[in-house]
Amino acid sequence: MVVLAELAFSTSDLAQVRFAVSPMWEVAPSFRLLRAGTTYPVHRPWADQVRPRLLASGLDRGWLSELIPPTGGYVPDFLNPAPTGPAPTPAAEREAIRASPADRVRQDLDHLARHEGGLGPRLRALRDDPQSFLPRVAEELAAYWELALAPYWARVRAVLDADIRYRARLAAEHGTGHLLNVLHTSLSWDGTALRMTRRKQPLTRTTAGTGLLLIPSAFTGPGLRTRTTLPDPPQLAYPARGVGTLWEPRSVTRTDALAAVLGRSRTLVLTELEIPDSTTRLARRTGLSPAGVSQCLTALRDAGLVSAHRAGRSVLYARTAAAEALLQAASA
Protein backbone atom coordinates (compact mmCIF):
# COMPACT_ATOMS: atom_id res chain seq x y z
CA MET A 1 0.00 0.00 0.00
CA VAL A 2 1.35 3.41 -0.99
CA VAL A 3 0.49 6.35 1.26
CA LEU A 4 0.99 10.09 1.13
CA ALA A 5 3.48 10.96 3.85
CA GLU A 6 3.20 14.46 5.27
CA LEU A 7 5.85 15.95 7.53
CA ALA A 8 4.67 19.11 9.27
CA PHE A 9 7.07 22.00 9.87
CA SER A 10 7.02 24.56 12.64
CA THR A 11 9.12 27.70 12.54
CA SER A 12 11.65 25.84 14.67
CA ASP A 13 11.72 22.92 12.24
CA LEU A 14 12.38 25.22 9.29
CA ALA A 15 15.19 26.88 11.22
CA GLN A 16 16.83 23.47 11.70
CA VAL A 17 16.88 22.29 8.08
CA ARG A 18 20.48 21.51 7.22
CA PHE A 19 22.68 19.51 4.85
CA ALA A 20 25.28 16.87 5.64
CA VAL A 21 27.58 14.54 3.74
CA SER A 22 27.36 11.08 5.29
CA PRO A 23 29.80 8.31 4.27
CA MET A 24 27.61 5.59 5.80
CA TRP A 25 24.63 6.63 3.66
CA GLU A 26 26.69 5.49 0.65
CA VAL A 27 27.42 2.04 2.08
CA ALA A 28 24.08 0.24 1.73
CA PRO A 29 23.18 1.34 -1.83
CA SER A 30 26.73 0.82 -3.12
CA PHE A 31 26.89 -2.64 -1.50
CA ARG A 32 23.61 -3.56 -3.19
CA LEU A 33 24.91 -2.44 -6.56
CA LEU A 34 27.98 -4.63 -6.21
CA ARG A 35 25.98 -7.70 -5.24
CA ALA A 36 23.43 -7.25 -8.01
CA GLY A 37 23.87 -9.04 -11.30
CA THR A 38 23.27 -5.75 -13.08
CA THR A 39 24.02 -2.20 -12.06
CA TYR A 40 23.06 1.33 -13.03
CA PRO A 41 24.98 2.18 -16.22
CA VAL A 42 26.37 5.32 -14.59
CA HIS A 43 28.17 3.24 -11.93
CA ARG A 44 29.38 0.42 -14.19
CA PRO A 45 33.03 1.63 -14.39
CA TRP A 46 33.21 1.68 -10.59
CA ALA A 47 31.39 -1.64 -10.15
CA ASP A 48 33.51 -3.44 -12.76
CA GLN A 49 36.64 -2.50 -10.85
CA VAL A 50 35.37 -3.06 -7.31
CA ARG A 51 33.14 -6.15 -7.64
CA PRO A 52 36.01 -8.63 -8.17
CA ARG A 53 37.74 -7.28 -5.06
CA LEU A 54 34.52 -7.61 -3.06
CA LEU A 55 34.07 -11.25 -4.10
CA ALA A 56 37.71 -12.06 -3.40
CA SER A 57 37.48 -10.51 0.07
CA GLY A 58 34.43 -12.53 1.12
CA LEU A 59 32.64 -9.37 2.28
CA ASP A 60 29.70 -10.31 0.06
CA ARG A 61 29.06 -13.20 2.48
CA GLY A 62 29.55 -11.38 5.78
CA TRP A 63 27.49 -9.27 8.16
CA LEU A 64 26.59 -6.70 5.52
CA SER A 65 25.09 -9.35 3.26
CA GLU A 66 22.48 -10.04 5.94
CA LEU A 67 21.99 -6.48 7.17
CA ILE A 68 21.50 -5.07 3.65
CA PRO A 69 18.87 -7.08 1.72
CA PRO A 70 19.97 -7.45 -1.91
CA THR A 71 16.65 -6.55 -3.51
CA GLY A 72 16.05 -3.26 -1.71
CA GLY A 73 13.76 -2.50 1.17
CA TYR A 74 14.53 -1.77 4.78
CA VAL A 75 18.09 -1.27 6.07
CA PRO A 76 18.45 -1.13 9.88
CA ASP A 77 18.42 2.49 11.00
CA PHE A 78 21.38 2.06 13.34
CA LEU A 79 23.59 1.71 10.23
CA ASN A 80 22.85 5.37 9.40
CA PRO A 81 23.46 7.39 12.57
CA ALA A 82 22.42 11.03 12.34
CA PRO A 83 25.45 13.13 11.35
CA THR A 84 26.32 15.53 14.16
CA GLY A 85 28.11 17.92 11.80
CA PRO A 86 28.23 18.80 8.12
CA ALA A 87 30.69 16.06 7.15
CA PRO A 88 31.49 13.37 9.74
CA THR A 89 34.38 11.03 8.99
CA PRO A 90 33.74 7.34 8.25
CA ALA A 91 35.50 6.48 11.51
CA ALA A 92 33.23 8.79 13.51
CA GLU A 93 30.12 7.27 11.97
CA ARG A 94 31.37 3.74 12.61
CA GLU A 95 31.99 4.68 16.24
CA ALA A 96 28.38 5.92 16.47
CA ILE A 97 27.21 2.57 15.06
CA ARG A 98 29.37 0.71 17.56
CA ALA A 99 27.76 2.74 20.37
CA SER A 100 24.16 2.14 19.23
CA PRO A 101 21.84 1.44 22.17
CA ALA A 102 20.93 -2.23 22.48
CA ASP A 103 17.18 -1.55 22.38
CA ARG A 104 17.65 0.44 19.17
CA VAL A 105 19.52 -2.46 17.54
CA ARG A 106 16.89 -4.98 18.62
CA GLN A 107 14.03 -2.80 17.40
CA ASP A 108 15.68 -2.35 14.01
CA LEU A 109 16.45 -6.06 13.64
CA ASP A 110 12.86 -6.95 14.56
CA HIS A 111 11.74 -4.57 11.81
CA LEU A 112 14.16 -6.22 9.38
CA ALA A 113 12.86 -9.66 10.37
CA ARG A 114 9.30 -8.61 9.54
CA HIS A 115 10.45 -7.45 6.10
CA GLU A 116 12.64 -10.47 5.36
CA GLY A 117 10.62 -13.23 7.04
CA GLY A 118 13.11 -13.81 9.84
CA LEU A 119 16.76 -13.49 10.81
CA GLY A 120 19.66 -15.82 10.22
CA PRO A 121 21.89 -17.15 13.03
CA ARG A 122 24.35 -14.29 12.73
CA LEU A 123 21.74 -11.54 13.09
CA ARG A 124 19.97 -13.44 15.87
CA ALA A 125 23.26 -13.41 17.76
CA LEU A 126 23.57 -9.66 17.13
CA ARG A 127 20.05 -9.16 18.43
CA ASP A 128 20.73 -11.20 21.55
CA ASP A 129 24.01 -9.46 22.39
CA PRO A 130 24.52 -6.17 20.50
CA GLN A 131 27.40 -5.07 22.71
CA SER A 132 29.49 -8.11 21.75
CA PHE A 133 28.73 -8.17 18.03
CA LEU A 134 28.43 -4.51 17.01
CA PRO A 135 32.25 -4.20 16.99
CA ARG A 136 32.35 -6.97 14.37
CA VAL A 137 29.82 -5.09 12.25
CA ALA A 138 31.91 -1.92 12.58
CA GLU A 139 35.06 -3.80 11.57
CA GLU A 140 33.36 -5.14 8.46
CA LEU A 141 32.08 -1.68 7.61
CA ALA A 142 35.65 -0.39 7.86
CA ALA A 143 36.90 -3.16 5.57
CA TYR A 144 34.18 -2.49 3.01
CA TRP A 145 34.79 1.25 3.09
CA GLU A 146 38.51 0.83 2.50
CA LEU A 147 37.96 -1.62 -0.35
CA ALA A 148 35.00 -0.11 -2.19
CA LEU A 149 34.62 3.57 -1.38
CA ALA A 150 37.72 5.15 0.18
CA PRO A 151 39.82 5.10 -3.03
CA TYR A 152 37.03 6.94 -4.86
CA TRP A 153 35.85 9.21 -2.08
CA ALA A 154 37.60 12.38 -3.28
CA ARG A 155 35.69 12.19 -6.55
CA VAL A 156 32.37 11.26 -4.90
CA ARG A 157 32.79 13.94 -2.25
CA ALA A 158 33.35 16.60 -4.95
CA VAL A 159 29.95 15.74 -6.48
CA LEU A 160 28.19 15.80 -3.10
CA ASP A 161 29.76 19.12 -2.10
CA ALA A 162 28.82 20.66 -5.45
CA ASP A 163 25.24 19.55 -4.95
CA ILE A 164 25.08 21.16 -1.50
CA ARG A 165 26.50 24.42 -2.85
CA TYR A 166 23.84 24.45 -5.56
CA ARG A 167 21.00 23.71 -3.11
CA ALA A 168 22.27 26.27 -0.62
CA ARG A 169 22.24 28.91 -3.34
CA LEU A 170 18.64 27.98 -4.19
CA ALA A 171 17.64 28.40 -0.56
CA ALA A 172 19.48 31.73 -0.31
CA GLU A 173 17.87 33.11 -3.47
CA HIS A 174 14.37 31.62 -3.26
CA GLY A 175 13.84 30.39 0.30
CA THR A 176 13.76 27.02 2.05
CA GLY A 177 10.25 26.26 0.80
CA HIS A 178 11.38 26.48 -2.81
CA LEU A 179 14.40 24.30 -2.05
CA LEU A 180 12.18 21.57 -0.61
CA ASN A 181 9.69 21.85 -3.47
CA VAL A 182 12.28 21.19 -6.18
CA LEU A 183 14.48 18.71 -4.32
CA HIS A 184 12.84 15.61 -5.86
CA THR A 185 9.84 14.80 -8.05
CA SER A 186 8.18 12.86 -5.23
CA LEU A 187 8.32 15.85 -2.85
CA SER A 188 6.12 18.92 -2.65
CA TRP A 189 5.95 21.82 -0.21
CA ASP A 190 2.60 23.46 0.62
CA GLY A 191 3.86 26.16 2.97
CA THR A 192 3.48 24.22 6.21
CA ALA A 193 4.34 20.60 5.40
CA LEU A 194 6.54 18.47 3.17
CA ARG A 195 4.59 15.84 1.27
CA MET A 196 6.12 12.67 -0.10
CA THR A 197 4.38 10.41 -2.59
CA ARG A 198 5.13 6.75 -3.38
CA ARG A 199 5.93 5.96 0.24
CA LYS A 200 4.83 2.78 2.02
CA GLN A 201 4.87 4.16 5.58
CA PRO A 202 3.61 7.45 7.05
CA LEU A 203 6.12 10.12 7.98
CA THR A 204 4.98 12.37 10.81
CA ARG A 205 6.49 14.41 13.62
CA THR A 206 5.35 11.74 16.08
CA THR A 207 7.97 9.39 14.61
CA ALA A 208 10.71 11.93 13.91
CA GLY A 209 12.61 14.63 15.75
CA THR A 210 12.76 18.34 14.96
CA GLY A 211 14.19 19.88 11.81
CA LEU A 212 15.24 18.00 8.69
CA LEU A 213 18.60 16.58 7.63
CA LEU A 214 19.18 16.56 3.86
CA ILE A 215 21.84 14.14 2.63
CA PRO A 216 22.93 14.09 -1.02
CA SER A 217 23.92 10.63 -2.19
CA ALA A 218 25.86 9.31 -5.17
CA PHE A 219 24.68 5.69 -4.94
CA THR A 220 21.10 5.92 -3.69
CA GLY A 221 19.62 5.73 -7.19
CA PRO A 222 16.68 7.75 -8.50
CA GLY A 223 14.50 7.42 -5.41
CA LEU A 224 14.59 8.77 -1.86
CA ARG A 225 15.67 7.03 1.31
CA THR A 226 14.57 8.11 4.77
CA ARG A 227 15.42 7.48 8.39
CA THR A 228 13.12 8.50 11.21
CA THR A 229 14.36 7.65 14.68
CA LEU A 230 13.49 9.72 17.72
CA PRO A 231 15.00 11.96 18.97
CA ASP A 232 17.10 12.45 15.83
CA PRO A 233 15.90 14.76 13.06
CA PRO A 234 14.38 12.97 10.08
CA GLN A 235 17.02 12.16 7.48
CA LEU A 236 16.28 12.38 3.78
CA ALA A 237 18.86 10.97 1.36
CA TYR A 238 18.30 12.11 -2.21
CA PRO A 239 20.19 11.63 -5.51
CA ALA A 240 22.86 14.27 -5.91
CA ARG A 241 23.15 16.36 -9.04
CA GLY A 242 26.03 15.48 -11.32
CA VAL A 243 26.15 11.75 -10.56
CA GLY A 244 25.83 11.06 -14.28
CA THR A 245 29.31 12.50 -14.82
CA LEU A 246 30.89 10.91 -11.76
CA TRP A 247 32.98 8.29 -13.57
CA GLU A 248 33.57 10.10 -16.84
CA PRO A 249 37.26 10.34 -17.78
CA ARG A 250 38.76 13.73 -16.93
CA SER A 251 41.57 14.18 -19.38
CA VAL A 252 44.36 16.57 -18.51
CA THR A 253 45.63 18.23 -21.68
CA ARG A 254 48.05 20.81 -20.32
CA THR A 255 50.65 19.22 -18.08
CA ASP A 256 53.84 21.06 -19.04
CA ALA A 257 53.48 23.69 -16.31
CA LEU A 258 52.60 21.01 -13.76
CA ALA A 259 55.56 18.87 -14.85
CA ALA A 260 57.86 21.83 -14.31
CA VAL A 261 56.85 21.79 -10.64
CA LEU A 262 56.27 18.08 -9.90
CA GLY A 263 58.57 16.52 -12.48
CA ARG A 264 57.48 14.63 -15.57
CA SER A 265 57.38 11.16 -14.01
CA ARG A 266 55.31 12.28 -11.02
CA THR A 267 52.95 14.22 -13.28
CA LEU A 268 52.56 11.17 -15.52
CA VAL A 269 51.72 8.93 -12.56
CA LEU A 270 49.27 11.48 -11.18
CA THR A 271 47.43 11.88 -14.47
CA GLU A 272 47.27 8.08 -14.92
CA LEU A 273 45.40 7.77 -11.62
CA GLU A 274 42.10 8.51 -13.31
CA ILE A 275 40.91 5.45 -11.43
CA PRO A 276 42.68 4.08 -8.34
CA ASP A 277 45.34 1.54 -9.23
CA SER A 278 48.29 -0.46 -7.94
CA THR A 279 52.00 0.17 -8.39
CA THR A 280 52.36 -2.80 -10.74
CA ARG A 281 49.58 -1.76 -13.10
CA LEU A 282 50.73 1.86 -13.06
CA ALA A 283 54.18 0.70 -14.08
CA ARG A 284 52.77 -1.24 -17.02
CA ARG A 285 50.67 1.71 -18.17
CA THR A 286 53.31 4.40 -17.79
CA GLY A 287 56.36 2.46 -18.93
CA LEU A 288 58.17 3.40 -15.73
CA SER A 289 59.82 0.77 -13.56
CA PRO A 290 57.87 -0.45 -10.50
CA ALA A 291 60.57 1.11 -8.29
CA GLY A 292 60.26 4.39 -10.14
CA VAL A 293 56.47 4.40 -9.78
CA SER A 294 56.83 3.60 -6.08
CA GLN A 295 59.16 6.57 -5.60
CA CYS A 296 56.74 8.87 -7.43
CA LEU A 297 53.81 7.65 -5.34
CA THR A 298 55.72 8.16 -2.11
CA ALA A 299 56.54 11.75 -3.06
CA LEU A 300 52.99 12.44 -4.18
CA ARG A 301 51.60 10.94 -1.01
CA ASP A 302 53.94 13.05 1.14
CA ALA A 303 52.64 16.11 -0.73
CA GLY A 304 49.02 15.21 0.00
CA LEU A 305 48.19 14.50 -3.65
CA VAL A 306 47.79 10.72 -3.40
CA SER A 307 46.22 8.42 -0.80
CA ALA A 308 46.82 4.69 -0.32
CA HIS A 309 44.11 2.12 0.41
CA ARG A 310 44.43 -1.56 1.25
CA ALA A 311 42.38 -3.80 -1.07
CA GLY A 312 42.97 -7.41 -0.07
CA ARG A 313 46.62 -8.23 -0.74
CA SER A 314 47.26 -5.16 -2.86
CA VAL A 315 47.37 -1.43 -2.22
CA LEU A 316 45.44 0.98 -4.42
CA TYR A 317 46.61 4.55 -4.88
CA ALA A 318 44.09 7.30 -5.56
CA ARG A 319 44.19 11.02 -6.25
CA THR A 320 43.10 13.21 -3.37
CA ALA A 321 40.74 16.19 -3.62
CA ALA A 322 43.82 18.44 -3.65
CA ALA A 323 45.18 16.56 -6.66
CA GLU A 324 41.87 16.79 -8.50
CA ALA A 325 41.81 20.55 -7.95
CA LEU A 326 45.43 20.89 -9.06
CA LEU A 327 44.83 18.97 -12.30
CA GLN A 328 41.67 20.92 -12.99
CA ALA A 329 43.56 24.17 -12.57
CA ALA A 330 46.33 22.90 -14.86
CA SER A 331 43.79 22.21 -17.61
CA ALA A 332 42.02 25.56 -17.28
Q: Which residue has the higher pLDDT, 253 or 320?
A: 320
CA distance 171 to 309: 37
CA distance 297 to 308: 9
| Average pLDDT estimate for 123-143 | 97
CA distance 113 to 143: 25
pLDDT of residue 73: 82
Is residue 254's pLDDT more than 80? no
pTM: 0.87
pLDDT of residue 312: 74
Is residue 203's pLDDT more than 80? no
Quick: pLDDT tens for 260-279: 888 999 999 998 888 898 99
pLDDT of residue 293: 94
- The helix or strand, by DSSP H or E, that contains position 49, with its residue range, turns out to be helix 44-57
| Average pLDDT estimate for 151-167 | 94
| Average pLDDT estimate for 2-25 | 88
Average pLDDT along the chain: 90
Is residue 219's pLDDT more than 60? yes
Helix (H, G, I), strand (E, B) or coil at 108: helix
Is residue 197's pLDDT more than 80? yes
Please state the separation of Cα 117 from the chain's center in Å: 28
Tell me the pLDDT band of 202, cut-offs 50, 70 and 90: low
Tell me the pLDDT band of 1, cut-offs 50, 70 and 90: very low
Minimum mean pLDDT range among 35-39, 73-77, 81-85, 209-213: 35-39
CA distance 277 to 50: 11
